Amino acid sequence: MRAGDDRAAGRTCAPGHRGVTARGPAIVPRGEFGFINLLRGSAALAVVYSHLVGEYLDWMHQTWWLKRLVDAGLERPFAIAGHFGRLGVMVFFLISGFIITHVAHSENPLQFAIRRVFRIYPAYWLTIAIVIIFGLFEYPFDVALLHDWRSMLKLATLTNYLFYPQNIVLGVAWTLQIEVIFYALILLLIPLIRRSPSLTLALELAFVLAALLLARFDGSSWYFFAVNAGYLPYLLIGQLIYFYRSGGLTGARAMSFGAACYFIILFDLRLLHQDLLEPAQSRMLCLTMALGIFVWAMRYGNEAGMMRWPKFFANISYSLYLLHAPIGLLLLALLKPHIGYGNALLVAVVAVIATAGLVHRCLERPAIEFGRRLSNRFRERHREIVHA
């Protein structure tokens, strides 16, 4: 049965079992992931809008016709916090949980680790270099720390978010630290992911719960780790959606694990982020919206996601996410006094998209390909050693 036939039938035959109609937990065809393109590009653009329109104008105590229209028609009626930025990040977390779980079925631990390093770090390092060289810091930063190799090592590895003071150079990079923790957890559980989705989710949720229970233990560093670990259930919801879609979980078990994610998120909010339980800042409402968008796109957005522009914005989404604030805010600051906010915004958005496209083409994509080749080479050497 071809992948196209699988999608038409709504099922996939399990490996090694002819005529079996239940979906196997490791064989969701990649061609079914067009909806991910639609979500990834849209989430990145939502974050761009949040920083360059919503938050920027709030900082300036100004408004603009598009912001007024969006506020009146969407943000206030639906109580969307953070000018769509939080919603975009939540969609990114669901995507990551879904896709990384799929990837873990086809890669061994060494392949997984190498490919994730070359996926995350090269574009991040470039962005950090741009911010430092041009002084485009979004938050107060002690430049003297650049002469401390330990601080630079933490910054380069994204572990600066786990220690006090955090020394933030790039505002959006906090989400990357959460991704790195999730990757490390998946790396440890790769063999189990393929055999027992239920046990995998149980262990992951137990890890998060333990981190939260020990949040006040052993000083501020552990506290920061617990704060980051508290975001993992959002990614695990994306993971359990993948397990259910691929046949690794029944509907009843998926709902049970979804409820467990909900209660752990609620515990995290009550323990560490009580302000995010308020209606105007509700993270639960944000999660509900993101989940609804994700499920809708999964059901109806596959073909649209395979079109040219959704694929383009999906491809550049990571570079766009990293670069939009330092470059966009710089251009707004330089151009707004001379050509007005609307024209400055247009120039900034075009420049950010063009730069993200260039970085994706010249750095991000080659780094991903190099990581894939390098991981395959190590895998071949491992096989040679084993069979020698």
What digits encode the pLDDT tens for the residues 61-106? 999 999 999 999 999 999 898 999 999 999 999 999 999 999 998 8
Put residue 204 in one of left, alpha, beta given phi > 0 → left and psi -120 to 50 → alpha.
alpha
Of 25-29, 151-155, 176-180, 181-185, minimum mean pLDDT range: 25-29
Residue 254 is encoded by which pair of tokens? 């998926």
Largest CA distance in the chain: 70
In this predicted model, what pLDDT tens digit does every residue of 27-61 receive, in sequence order?
Answer: 555 556 899 999 999 999 999 999 999 999 999 99
323 within 8 A of 362, measured Cβ to Cβ: no
Angle (nearest 5°) at CA 84 between 79 and 90? 100
320 within 8 A of 118, measured Cβ to Cβ: no
In this predicted model, what pLDDT tens digit does every residue of 275-288 receive, in sequence order?
Answer: 888 888 889 999 99
Q: Can you give the pLDDT at residue 89?
A: 97
Q: H-helix or E-strand containing 361?
A: none
| Nearest partner of 173 among 215, 145, 131, 112, judged by Cα | 131
The residue with tokens 């790769």 is: 190
Name the band, by pLDDT with cuts 50, 70 and 90, for residue 371. very high
How many C-beta atoms surround the C-beta of residue 267 within 10 A? 16
Q: Can you give the pLDDT at residue 218?
A: 61
Residue 55 to residue 168: CA distance in whole angstroms? 18
Residue 57 to residue 2: CA distance in whole angstroms? 51
The residue with tokens 């916090």 is: 81
Q: H-helix or E-strand containing 291?
A: helix 283-300
In this predicted model, what pLDDT tens digit does every residue of 312-357 receive, in sequence order?
Answer: 999 999 999 999 999 999 999 999 999 999 999 999 999 999 999 9
Of 14-28, 92-106, 118-132, 142-156, minimum mean pLDDT range: 14-28
| 3-class SS letters over 175-203 | HHHHHHHHHHHHHHHHHHHHHCHHHHHHH
Residue 165 is encoded by which pair of tokens? 């003071």
Residue 245 is encoded by which pair of tokens? 């879609």
Residue 144 to residue 80: CA distance in whole angstroms? 39
Name the band, by pLDDT with cuts 50, 70 and 90, for residue 195. very high
pLDDT of 108 higher than 80: yes
Name the band, by pLDDT with cuts 50, 70 and 90, for residue 380. low
Cβ-count burial of 25 within 10 angstroms (0-12 exposed, 13-18 middle, 19+ buried)?
buried
238 within 8 A of 294, measured Cβ to Cβ: yes
